[in-house]
C-alpha cells in the first residue's frame, strides 16, 4: 500500500474492471463517492457549451488504494474540459492541446513537489516523471504540502498520489531510487523538459550533462530571492553546464569531493553576492547551529510559478533565453506604491452652462468662433482658419489627420460644417456670404467664406442653436418621429446639397447597431486605429484639453469608466485579436445605437473633397435641426466610412479588410445608399438628458489675420 502511487481508472463495461468493482463494493472498508451528477451539471454551465461528444462521454470509476476510496467522475475528455475551463484564455484551448503533449521530468520532490503539482494543475504537460530516493520526514513539512499521514513514504510517491487525486488521467511515473549514471538515461528518455531540484552538486552536474547530450532544456529554482535558472540545451547544446559557474572542474570528480571542498562551487553556483543577507549568514551556521540550509514554503511556491511559466513558454515556442533572473518577493514589497498618491484630483463634475459663448462686435471674429464650434472626428479640429479683410479662409490642416480620415475625407466633412457655421454667424451679424471651394497653401481643401450681399434670415435663426450644438452620448430613450420632424430633418439636408436616410424601424436599427458594433470591434483590434482612438480621450488634469474628447462626455457609468484602463492597453487588444474574440468591444455601440430613436446617414452625390465638404454642411444642418427639436445627437461613424475601395480598406485594417468591406456593403444596403453617393456621417438620434459637458475648442488666438491668397477650384 505504501508504494502505490497510481489511481486505477475503471469502466463497468470492461469485465476485469467490473470484477474489481464488485470486489471493492463487497469490502466494508472501501468508500464509494459519486461526483458524476455534480460534474455533469457544472459541465452544462460552461461557455461555450461543450459538444455532444463530451456531454455523452461515459463516466469512469477511479480507485485510490491509499484512500480506500472509489470515485465516480467524468470521462477523461469531459473532465479535462471542465477542470481546465478556468485557464481560458490565459491559456487558450489550442495552447492547452499543444502543452498536453509535453513530457516533463522533475528530479527532487521536496521543492519539486509544488512544481510538479503546479504543472499538473495548469494542465501544461501530458506526462510527469518524478524522481526522488528520499522519504518524507516531519522536518520537510515546512515546505512540502504533505501531511503527517505521509511520513515515511517516498517523496515522489507522495507527489504522484496528490496529482492522481487532482487528475487521475494524467500519466505519472515514479522513480523512487537515486538518479545515478546508471539510471539517468532511462529517466531522460523521451522527455521534453527537465526540472532539477536536488541537493547534490554532483547529481546536478550529471543531470545537465546527460540532458545536454539529448538536447533537453533544464530548469531550476532556488528558494532564496526567487532565482530562476534556465539552460536551453535544446537550442544551444554547446553551452557549458550551469553556465560555466563550476569553472574547469571535472564533473566526474565532484562526487569524490568532501562537503568542505564543495563549498566554493556551491557558492559560485548560488551567486554568493546575490544571496539574501539572512541566507548568506545562515550558510555560515550550517553544521554549527543549523543542520542544513533553510528554505521557506513561500519561496518554493514562487519558484513553482516561475517554472510553470517557463515550461509554458518552451512548450509553445515562445521566447525564453538561457540565463538567470530573480523575482525577489522582499524587494518587490519594498516598492509598494500607494494608489492614494497616484490618484488624480476629483474631476469637476459641474455641467457646462452652455451659455458661455462670447459675443462679438466684429462679424469676422464671430464667424471664426462659430467655425471653431463645428464638429469633427474625435474633436480633432482639422482646420486652419485665417481671418481675411472680407471673410474667412478655412483650410484642412494635413497635420491633424488620422488613419480613419482616408484621403482627408473626414476632414473635408468637418471643414464643410465649419463653413456653414461661419455663414450662420455672418447672417446673425447682418451679412450675407458666399462660398468658394478649392485648394491652396499646401492644403488639400480650402473654403473661402466671403461676406457678400444681404443676410439669410433662415440662417440667422440658427445662430444660437448652432452655438449650443453638442455631441450627446447619453443612452436616452426611443421616441416616435412625427411627420413634421422627418420633413424638417430631410429639408435641412436637402438645403445644403445632402441626402438624408433616416432609419426608424426597430429591426433595421438593430441591424445597423450590429454593423456599427462589429466595426467598432475591428477598430479596437487594429493597432493604429486603437492607438488613435484612445489618444483622443483625455481626463481632467491632462495637458492640452483643447483637442479630443473629455472622458466625462462619454456618459459612462463608473463601472465602465474603470474598464477603459483595460481597453486602452494595446497588448490586451493584441491578445483578443489573436483569439479573434472581443465581441464585448462593440457592446457599448450596440446598446446605444440599438436603443436609439433613429439612425441617420447623410450622404452626397459625388466623391471629391468638395462633395464631402458639401455633405459636412448638410450634417451640421441636420444636427442643429434635431437638437433644436429637443433630441440628442451622437456621431457613430464606422472605421470603413471614408474608404472607397478594397485598397483603402486594407490600409485601414489589413487583418480585417474583407470584414470591413462586408460591413460597408451591409450598411449601404440597409440605408439604401447608391454606389455613386458618398456617406459623410452616421448619427444616432434619441431623446436624452443634455450632455454633461461640451467639447472644448482651441482659443481664437489660433486664427490668423492675413491678406487674401489665390486658390484653385476642386
Q: Where are the domains of the chain?
A: 1-87, 88-333, 492-687
- Residues 386-429 have pLDDT tens digits of 999 899 999 999 999 999 999 999 999 999 999 999 999 999 99
How open is the CA angle 456-461-464, to the nearest 5 degrees? 130
% of the chain residues with pLDDT over 90:
82
d(CA 115, CA 125): 12
Determine if the peptide bond prior to 89 is cis (ω within 30°): yes
Q: Could you tell me which of 120, 193, 211, 209 has the C-alpha nearest to residue 159?
A: 120
Decide if 88-333 and 492-687 have a common fold: no
- Give the architecture-level CATH label for domain 492-687: 3-Layer(aba) Sandwich (3.40)
CA 398, CA 392: separation in Å to the nearest integer? 19
Is residue 523 a contact partner of residue 511, using CB atoms and an 8 Å limit? Answer: no
Burial of residue 178, with CB atoms counted within 10 A of its CB: 0-12 exposed, 13-18 middle, 19 or more buried: middle
Eight-class DSSP state of 57: P
Give me the phi and psi of 462, to 5 degrees please. -85, 0
> Is 80 exceeded by the pLDDT of residue 341?
no
Measure the CA–CA gap between 683 and 481, rounded to whole angstroms: 15
CA angle 67, 73, 79 (to 5 degrees): 120
For the chain, give the mean pLDDT.
93
Alpha carbon distance 204, 269 (integer Å): 11
523 contacts: CB under 8 Å, gap ≥ 6: 404, 529, 530, 533, 638, 639, 653
Query: Among 175, 287, 177, 267, which Cα is nearest to 224's?
Result: 267
Terminal-residue alpha carbon distance, the chain: 92
CATH superfamily of 88-333: NAD(P)-binding Rossmann-like Domain (3.40.50.720)
Residue 620, burial from CB neighbour count under 10 angstroms (0-12, 13-18, 19+): buried
H-helix segments, 290-408: 297-316, 329-334, 339-342, 363-372
Would you state the pLDDT for residue 384? 93
Residue 135 has a pLDDT of 98
Separation between Cα atoms, residue 382 and residue 396, nearest integer Å: 6
- What the block records as the C-alpha cell of 164 is 492522481
Beta strands in 354-397 (DSSP E): 383-387, 391-396
Average pLDDT over residues 39-60: 97
**Tens digit of pLDDT for each residue in 157-177?**
999 999 999 999 999 999 999
Instruction: Give residue 355's pLDDT.
Output: 45
What is the pLDDT, as a whole number, of residue 443?
87
Residue in 547, 542, 524, 499 with CA at minimum distance from that of residue 681:
499
The SS3 of residue 679 is: strand
Any idea what the Cα angle at residue 588 is, between residues 583 and 590, rounded to 5°? 70
pLDDT of residue 361: 78
| pLDDT of the residue at 1 | 47
448 to 197, 393, 400: CA distances (angstroms): 79, 5, 20
Among residues 187, 171, 189, the alpha carbon closest in space to that of 179 is found at 187
pLDDT (mean) for 104-128: 98
Judge whether 526 and 570 are in contact, CB under 8 Å.
no
Burial 304-320 (b: 16+ CB within 10 A, else e): bbbbbbbbbebbbeeeb
Confidence bin at 342 (pLDDT 50/70/90): low
Residue 704 is predicted with a pLDDT of 66
Cβ-based neighbours of 607, under 8 Å, separated by 6 or more: 644, 678
* Cα(117)–Cα(140) distance, integer angstroms: 17
pLDDT digits (tens, 9 = 90+) for 191-236: 999 999 998 899 999 999 999 999 999 999 998 999 999 999 999 9
Neighbours of 284 (CB within 10 A): 10
Amino acid at each position: 500500500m505504501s508504494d502505490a502511487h497510481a489511481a486505477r481508472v475503471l469502466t463497468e463495461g470492461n469485465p476485469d474492471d467490473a470484477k474489481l468493482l464488485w470486489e471493492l463494493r463487497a469490502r466494508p472498508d472501501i468508500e464509494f463517492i459519486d461526483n458524476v451528477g455534480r460534474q455533469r451539471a457544472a459541465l452544462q454551465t460552461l461557455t461555450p457549451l461543450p459538444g455532444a461528444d463530451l456531454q455523452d462521454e461515459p463516466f469512469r470509476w477511479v480507485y485510490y488504494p491509499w484512500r480506500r476510496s472509489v470515485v465516480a467522475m467524468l470521462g477523461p475528455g469531459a473532465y479535462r474540459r471542465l477542470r481546465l475551463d478556468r485557464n481560458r484564455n490565459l491559456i487558450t484551448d489550442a495552447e492547452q492541446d499543444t502543452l498536453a503533449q509535453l513530457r516533463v521530468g522533475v528530479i527532487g520532490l521536496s521543492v519539486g513537489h509544488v512544481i510538479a503539482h503546479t504543472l499538473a494543475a495548469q494542465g501544461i504537460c501530458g506526462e510527469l516523471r518524478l524522481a526522488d530516493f528520499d522519504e518524507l520526514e516531519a522536518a520537510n513539512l515546512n515546505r512540502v504540502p504533505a501531511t503527517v499521514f505521509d511520513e515515511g513514504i517516498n517523496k515522489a510517491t507522495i507527489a504522484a498520489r496528490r496529482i492522481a487525486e487532482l487528475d487521475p488521467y494524467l500519466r505519472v511515473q515514479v522513480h523512487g531510487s537515486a538518479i545515478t549514471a546508471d539510471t539517468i538515461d532511462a529517466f531522460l528518455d523521451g522527455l521534453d523538459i527537465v526540472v532539477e531540484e536536488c541537493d547534490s552538486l554532483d547529481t546536478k552536474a550529471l543531470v545537465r550533462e546527460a540532458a545536454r547530450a539529448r538536447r533537453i532544456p533544464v530548469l531550476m529554482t532556488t528558494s532564496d530571492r526567487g532565482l530562476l535558472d534556465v539552460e536551453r540545451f535544446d537550442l544551444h547544446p554547446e553551452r557549458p553546464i550551469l553556465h560555466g559557474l563550476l569553472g574547469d572542474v571535472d564533473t566526474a570528480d565532484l562526487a569524490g569531493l568532501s562537503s568542505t571542498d564543495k563549498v566554493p562551487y556551491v557558492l559560485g553556483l548560488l551567486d554568493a553576492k546575490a544571496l539574501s543577507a539572512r541566507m548568506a549568514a545562515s550558510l555560515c551556521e550550517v553544521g554549527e547551529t543549523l543542520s542544513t540550509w533553510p528554505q521557506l514554503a513561500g519561496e518554493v511556491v514562487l519558484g513553482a510559478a516561475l517554472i510553470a511559466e517557463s515550461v509554458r513558454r518552451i512548450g509553445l515556442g515562445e521566447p525564453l533565453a538561457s540565463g538567470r533572473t530573480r523575482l525577489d518577493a522582499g524587494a518587490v514589497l519594498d516598492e509598494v506604491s500607494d494608489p492614494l498618491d497616484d490618484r488624480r484630483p476629483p474631476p469637476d463634475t459641474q455641467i457646462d452652462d452652455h451659455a458661455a459663448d462670447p459675443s462679438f462686435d466684429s462679424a469676422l471674429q464671430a464667424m471664426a468662433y462659430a467655425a471653431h464650434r463645428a464638429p469633427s472626428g474625435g474633436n480633432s479640429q482639422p482646420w486652419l482658419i485665417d481671418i481675411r479683410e472680407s471673410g474667412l479662409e478655412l483650410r484642412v490642416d494635413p497635420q491633424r489627420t488620422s488613419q480613419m480620415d482616408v484621403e482627408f475625407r473626414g476632414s473635408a466633412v468637418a471643414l464643410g460644417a465649419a463653413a456653414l457655421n461661419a455663414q450662420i454667424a455672418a447672417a446673425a451679424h447682418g451679412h450675407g456670404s458666399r462660398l468658394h471651394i478649392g485648394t491652396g497653401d499646401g492644403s488639400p481643401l480650402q473654403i473661402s467664406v466671403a461676406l457678400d450681399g444681404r443676410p439669410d434670415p433662415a440662417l440667422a435663426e440658427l445662430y444660437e442653436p448652432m452655438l449650443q450644438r453638442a455631441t450627446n452620448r447619453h443612452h436616452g430613450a426611443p421616441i416616435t418621429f412625427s411627420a413634421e420632424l422627418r420633413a424638417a430633418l430631410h429639408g435641412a439636408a436637402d438645403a445644403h446639397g445632402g441626402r438624408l436616410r433616416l432609419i426608424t424601424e426597430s429591426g433595421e436599427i438593430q441591424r445597423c447597431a450590429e454593423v456599427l458594433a462589429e466595426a467598432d470591434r475591428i477598430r479596437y483590434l487594429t493597432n493604429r486605429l486603437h492607438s488613435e482612438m484612445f489618444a483622443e480621450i483625455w481626463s481632467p488634469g491632462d495637458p492640452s484639453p483643447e483637442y479630443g474628447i473629455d472622458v466625462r462626455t462619454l456618459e459612462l457609468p463608473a463601472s465602465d469608466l474603470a474598464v477603459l484602463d483595460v481597453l486602452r492597453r494595446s497588448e490586451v487588444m493584441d491578445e483578443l485579436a489573436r483569439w479573434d474574440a472581443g465581441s464585448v468591444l462593440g457592446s457599448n455601440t450596440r446598446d446605444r445605437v440599438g436603443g436609439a430613436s433613429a439612425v441617420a446617414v447623410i450622404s452626397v452625390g459625388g466623391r471629391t473633397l468638395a462633395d464631402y465638404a458639401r455633405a459636412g454642411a448638410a450634417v451640421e444642418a441636420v444636427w442643429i435641426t434635431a437638437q433644436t427639436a429637443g433630441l440628442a445627437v451622437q456621431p457613430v461613424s464606422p472605421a470603413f466610412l471614408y474608404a472607397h475601395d478594397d485598397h483603402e480598406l486594407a490600409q485601414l485594417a489589413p487583418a480585417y479588410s474583407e470584414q470591413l468591406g462586408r460591413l460597408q456593403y451591409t450598411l449601404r444596403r440597409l440605408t439604401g445608399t447608391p454606389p455613386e453617393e458618398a456617406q459623410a456621417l452616421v448619427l444616432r438620434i434619441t431623446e436624452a438628458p443634455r450632455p454633461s459637458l461640451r467639447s472644448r475648442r482651441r482659443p481664437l488666438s489660433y486664427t490668423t489675420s492675413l491678406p487674401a491668397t489665390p486658390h484653385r477650384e476642386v
